[in-house]
Structure 1
Amino acid sequence: MATSDDLTCSRRTVWQGGIGTLALLLAAGRSRPVPAAQQSWPDFLDQIAREARRLGISPATTRAALARAERLERVIELDRRQPEGQMSFADYIGRVIDANRVRRGQEMLETHRDLLEQIRFRFGVPNPTLVALWGLESSYGRSTGTWSVVSALATLAHDGRRSEFFRGELMAALQILDAGDVDLDELKGSWAGAMGQAQFMPSTYLRHAVDWDGDGQRDIWGSIPDVLASMSNLLARSGWRQGELWGREVQAPADLPAGRRDTVAAFAKAGVRDSEGGPLPNSDMPAVLLRMDGPGGRAFLTYHNFQVIKIWNRSDYFALSVGLLSDQLKAA
Structure 2
Amino acid sequence: MMQLLTRRRFAGSALAAALLIDVAGALAQGDPAFQQFLLALWPRAEAAGVSRATFDAAISGLTPDPSAPSAAAKQAEFDKPLKDYLASAVSKARIARGRAALQKWGGELTRISQRSGVPPEIILAAWGMETDFGAARGGKDIIRTLATLAYQRQDRELFRDEWIAALLILQKDSVPREKLKGSWAGAMGDPQFIPSAYLKYAVSYDGASFADIWDRPQDSLASIANFLRQSGWKPALPWGMEVRLPQSFAFSSLHGGFGAFAAQGVVNADGSPLRAQGDATLFLPSGAAGPAFLLSDNYWVLKAYNNSDSYALSLSLLADRIGGADGLRGRWPMGEVFLSRAEKSTIQRELQKRGFYKGTIDGRFGQASRDAIHAFQLAEKIAPADGFGTPDVLRRLAQQ
Query: Whose relative contact order is higher, 1 or 2, with alpha carbons under 8 Å and at least 6 apart?
Result: 1
Q: 1:241 — aligned with what?
A: 234
Is 1:268 the counterpart of 2:228? The answer is: no
Match 1:197 to one of 190, 194, 199:
190
Q: 1:187 — aligned with what?
A: 180
**Alpha-carbon displacement from aligned partner over 1:85-111 (angstroms, at most 9, x marks no partner):** 421011111111111111111111111
Q: What is the TM-score of this pair, normalised by structure 2? A: 0.69
Is 1:148 the counterpart of 2:152? The answer is: no
Q: Does the CA-based 8 Å contact 1:154-1:167 persist in structure 2?
A: yes
User: Structure 2 CA distance, aligned partners of 1:265 and 1:138?
Assistant: 37
How many residue pairs get matched?
303
Any residues of structure 2 matched to 1:1-332 within 5 Å, and which? 20=6, 22-23=7-8, 26-29=9-12, 40-160=33-153, 163-252=156-245, 256=251, 260-276=254-270, 278=271, 280-281=273-274, 283-331=276-324
**Alpha-carbon displacement from aligned partner over 1:144-198 (angstroms, at most 9, x marks no partner):** 1111112222232234387212221111101000113422122100111111111
Q: Does the CA-based 8 Å contact 1:49-1:63 persist in structure 2?
A: no
Q: What is the TM-score of this pair, normalised by structure 1? A: 0.82
Once the two structures are TM-superposed, the CA of residue 271 in structure 1 deviates from its matched residue by: 4.9
**Alpha-carbon displacement from aligned partner over 1:288-311 (angstroms, at most 9, x marks no partner):** 122224554433211111111111
Instruction: Tell me whether 161-170 or 190-199 shows the greater mean CA deviation.
Output: 161-170
Listed as ranges, the gaps of 5+ residues in structure 2 are 15-31, 326-400
User: Structure 1 CA distance, aligned partners of 2:241 and 2:291?
Assistant: 11
4+ aligned runs moved over 6 Å, structure 1: none
User: Structure 1 CA distance, aligned partners of 2:96 and 2:150?
Assistant: 39
Q: Does the CA-based 8 Å contact 2:10-2:44 persist in structure 1?
A: no
Instruction: Tell me whether 104-113 or 62-71 shows the greater mean CA deviation.
Output: 62-71
Matched-pair identity in %: 36
User: Structure 1 CA distance, aligned partners of 2:66 and 2:265?
Assistant: 50
Once the two structures are TM-superposed, the CA of residue 270 in structure 1 deviates from its matched residue by: 4.1
Secondary structure of the 1:312 match is coil
Secondary structure of the 1:152 match is helix
Once the two structures are TM-superposed, the CA of residue 236 in structure 1 deviates from its matched residue by: 1.1
Q: 1:324 to 1:70 in 2, by over 3 A?
A: farther
Q: 2:330 — aligned with what?
A: none
User: Structure 2 CA distance, aligned partners of 1:303 and 1:162?
Assistant: 36
**What is the RMSD of the two structures over their aligned residues, measured on CA atoms?**
2.6
Instruction: Tell me whether 266-275 or 315-324 shows the greater mean CA deviation.
Output: 266-275
Secondary structure of the 1:311 match is coil
Q: Does the CA-based 8 Å contact 2:94-2:132 persist in structure 1?
A: yes
Listed as ranges, the gaps of 5+ residues in structure 1 are 1-17, 32-38
Q: 1:106 to 1:85 in 2, by over 3 A?
A: closer
Amino acid at match of 1:256: F
